[in-house]
Structure 1
Amino acid sequence: MSQDPAPDRKPTISDVAALAGVSRAVASRALSSEPRPVAAGKRQRVLEAAQQLGFTPNLLARSLTTRSVNLVAIIVNHIHDLSDLDLFDLLLSEIQTLGKQVILLRVGSVDRVEDFLRSGIAWHVDAVLVFSDFADAATVRRMFDTGMTLMLNGRGDAQSPAVLADEASGIAEAVAHAAARGVRDVVLVTGRATSSVEAVRIDCYRAAFAQHGLRLLQTLQGDYSYDSGHAAGSSLFDAGEPDAVFCTSDAMAMGILDVHRASFTDGRPTRFRLYGFDDLSLTHFDAYPVASIGYAKRDYVREILKILADPGCFSPGMPPVRVPTRFVPRSSAG
């Protein structure tokens, strides 16, 4: 094998090839994460040479020829909702099993999306997962140099695949549970008004209330966070005494529960029943026994991974993939 490169410069793929006694093309194939043909003996020599030299592949440079950088961009508004923690830890782990890494982009507002466009930034990634409700499919496709834009925020179109929770079934079960226990008057605590997913969720609640003859006393605006639920807790009785409070996130329900702990003896309701949404892992413990609506997060992530692993499974015009929700009874609902 050839001599090591000078100690004052970073090793290159050419140095690895020279040390392994192979061509630069063979060295590149051997170090690729993609299944590319290389004789076993040559691959082993290349791997040993790369380790000896401390060589790390330059993914961005490689992308100029392969058009693949093994990077997935995830666009979010922010990450402070407790439901984000349950989902993203699993999602990032599963994306890494595909040999890809994640770039997390926090948008925060519609203006921020426009800033990206005005700056003329073209992010080169293999795929984009869009959770932010400020970004539509066409805008994201202009922002990124990729053939795969996966919409998870309800703002998709015929040109991009989408995975969405089918929330009507779980909401219908929860409202039926309340009606069967004599609930007649309800309060609804909602999340961000800008979210198209939230708009559909609210419509599902209203339809279920109407179906069971429940009277909606008032709707309180939150933002999915614990703090907004805690703030709403002081206004629950402004329009009358509800038999049940439905929240469109578990975090908001947890905030309300803390304000009204005296109304839940051993977690059970004595004044009103409480329902959340998301089936957070925290609700599995005695401190926050909130009845909830959720979907199997592993099923949801599995559907995302299917599309990432095989983009060809999507054809323009295909309907969104729907992951069903179900009602999870706990003591806060009696």
Structure 2
Amino acid sequence: MARARISDVAAAAGVSTATVSLVLNDRTARITDATRDRVRRAAEEVGYTPNSVARGLRTQRSHTVGLISDRIATTPFAGRMLAGAQDVAREHGILVFLVDTDADETVEREAIRALAAQQVDAMIYACMWHRVVDAPSSLPRGTVFLDCRPADGGFPAVVPDDRAGGVAAVRALVAAGHRRIAYVDVDEPHPPVASDLRHEGYLQVLAEAGIDPDPALHVRCDTSSAGGREATDRLLDLPEDHRPTALFCFNDRIAAGAYVAAHRRGLAVPQDLSIVGYDDQQLVAADLDPPLTTVALPHYEMGRWAMEVALGIRTPDDPDAPHLMPCPIVDRDSVGPPPATAASDSRRRT
């Protein structure tokens, strides 16, 4: 079947091809509503779709954006980032070209070259988790960094405000009356940026509450349920007057392991041990028993912000500093007051 042409629309609507072109390009200031509606109805009836290549040649825009990621396209944690970016693109008639490089630098260079050859209007460079990265030299000016920030600056970027997220988590525990609060951190040779930022938030709240940090309550483990179980066992093996009454866990999987360790000792959450996680991971946080109070990573909001900046819809407040996206606490049922004996012990020491 032959592709419908603009002349077919003009014949069906009883107008000139120039009028059809004006209507379909939304330049209708001098065209009556009745004519405009007739042209659009005729275009639909004959099955006419604009030639995007020809339109791009006229407007010098391709109405496409390239999104390069290390591996977020295959990772459930960050799928919401893609959803946020794609929703904005869809709202503005933009097609997104997604390339998942699996953190391969050669693939990344080829992807940047291919997207540039396609004359995409903008690029977004995304990471699976909050990182500081060296910006590839071939990235065009104005590329937006998503869930990462370039080490030398020079590009707009958006990352989660992990320090403030740590503050929110520990304040919830202090507000419930806890003073022996452990931070169950990640144990990796090169810890992620978020590890130190969340620890800084933890220390800030302890200082605000007049609580001296106890090095024994900062433990590290693998970022898994098994790691959380092992780390919690170490904390619960401390003498009774030193063991924590609350845990702030680096992520929800560690928190899930903490639940297991507590239950194996006959401890109830939150009656005997309060727990706060981080991530608000689907199929984990809300499905624990009781549901886990946690801090949500704003993946969707970051994805929207990045695409809005890439399209020129939004201007960064400070182009030389990354935008810190708030990480809200999600209150569920895993935080309560400390056990009565622990509260009285804490008051005696202070």
Scaled by the length of structure 1, the TM-score of the pair is 0.71
Give the aligned partner of residue 5 of structure 1. none
What whole-Å deviation, never above 9, does each CA across 1:140-162 have from its counterpart, x for those lacking one?
Answer: 8x356xx7522222324654322
Provide the aligned length of Structure 1 versus Structure 2. 312
How has the CA–CA distance of structure 1 residues 260 and 54 changed in structure 2, closer, same or farther, with 3 Å as cutoff?
farther
C-alpha separation between the residues in 2 aligned to 1:254 and 1:114?
38
Give the aligned partner of residue 324 of structure 2. 322
Secondary structure of residue in 2 paired with 1:325: coil
Secondary structure of residue in 2 paired with 1:46: helix
Is 1:170 aligned to 2:170, yes or no?
no
Is 1:70 aligned to 2:70, yes or no?
no
Give the aligned partner of residue 276 of structure 1. 277
| Equivalence map 1:146-225=2 (5 Å) | 148-156=142-150, 158-178=153-173, 180-189=177-186, 198-199=192-193, 201-211=194-204, 212=206, 213-215=213-215, 216-222=217-223
Identity %: 24
Give the aligned partner of residue 293 of structure 2. 291
What whole-Å deviation, never above 9, does each CA across 1:254-293 have from its counterpart, x for those lacking one?
Answer: 6536754735989724675432223356545665612212
Is 1:122 aligned to 2:114, yes or no?
no
How has the CA–CA distance of structure 1 residues 45 and 209 changed in structure 2, closer, same or farther, with 3 Å as cutoff?
closer
Give the aligned partner of residue 87 of structure 2. 93
What whole-Å deviation, never above 9, does each CA across 1:226-251 have from its counterpart, x for those lacking one?
Answer: xxx2342453257554735544443x
Cα drift, residue 55 of structure 1: 1.9
Is 1:256 aligned to 2:257, yes or no?
yes
Match of 1:43 among 32, 36, 43: 36
Scaled by the length of structure 2, the TM-score of the pair is 0.68
Q: Indicate if the aligned counterparts of 1:188 and 1:219 stay in contact, CA closer than 8 A.
A: yes
What whole-Å deviation, never above 9, does each CA across 1:154-212 have from its counterpart, x for those lacking one?
Answer: 32465432233322222123234446513254421379958xxx41x211233244453
How has the CA–CA distance of structure 1 residues 296 and 155 changed in structure 2, closer, same or farther, with 3 Å as cutoff?
closer
Is 1:313 aligned to 2:310, yes or no?
no
Secondary structure of residue in 2 paired with 1:139: coil
How has the CA–CA distance of structure 1 residues 191 and 306 changed in structure 2, closer, same or farther, with 3 Å as cutoff?
farther
How has the CA–CA distance of structure 1 residues 126 and 286 changed in structure 2, closer, same or farther, with 3 Å as cutoff?
same
What whole-Å deviation, never above 9, does each CA across 1:106-162 have from its counterpart, x for those lacking one?
Answer: 22213331342576863433333332268968538x356xx7522222324654322
C-alpha separation between the residues in 2 aligned to 1:268 and 1:238?
15
Specify the structure having the higher radius of gyration (Cα).
2
C-alpha separation between the residues in 1 aligned to 2:304 and 2:47?
35
Q: Indicate if the aligned counterparts of 2:188 and 2:222 stay in contact, CA closer than 8 A.
A: yes
Structure 1 residues not aligned, in runs of 5+? 1-7, 223-228
How has the CA–CA distance of structure 1 residues 178 and 113 changed in structure 2, closer, same or farther, with 3 Å as cutoff?
same
Cα drift, residue 311 of structure 1: 4.8
Q: Which amino acid aligns with 2:125?
A: V
Secondary structure of residue in 2 paired with 1:164: strand
How has the CA–CA distance of structure 1 residues 193 and 9 changed in structure 2, closer, same or farther, with 3 Å as cutoff?
farther
C-alpha separation between the residues in 1 aligned to 2:6 and 2:255?
54
Q: Indicate if the aligned counterparts of 1:277 and 1:294 stay in contact, CA closer than 8 A.
A: yes
Give the aligned partner of residue 225 of structure 1. none
Secondary structure of residue in 2 paired with 1:206: helix
Give the aligned partner of residue 347 of structure 2. none
Which stretch of the first structure deviates more once superposed, 100-109 or 299-308? Answer: 299-308
C-alpha separation between the residues in 2 aligned to 1:135 and 1:186?
23
Is 1:108 aligned to 2:110, yes or no?
no
Give the aligned partner of residue 3 of structure 1. none
Which stretch of the first structure deviates more once superposed, 303-312 or 8-17? Answer: 303-312
Larger RCO (CA under 8 A, 6+ residues apart):
2
Q: Indicate if the aligned counterparts of 2:181 and 2:247 stay in contact, CA closer than 8 A.
A: no
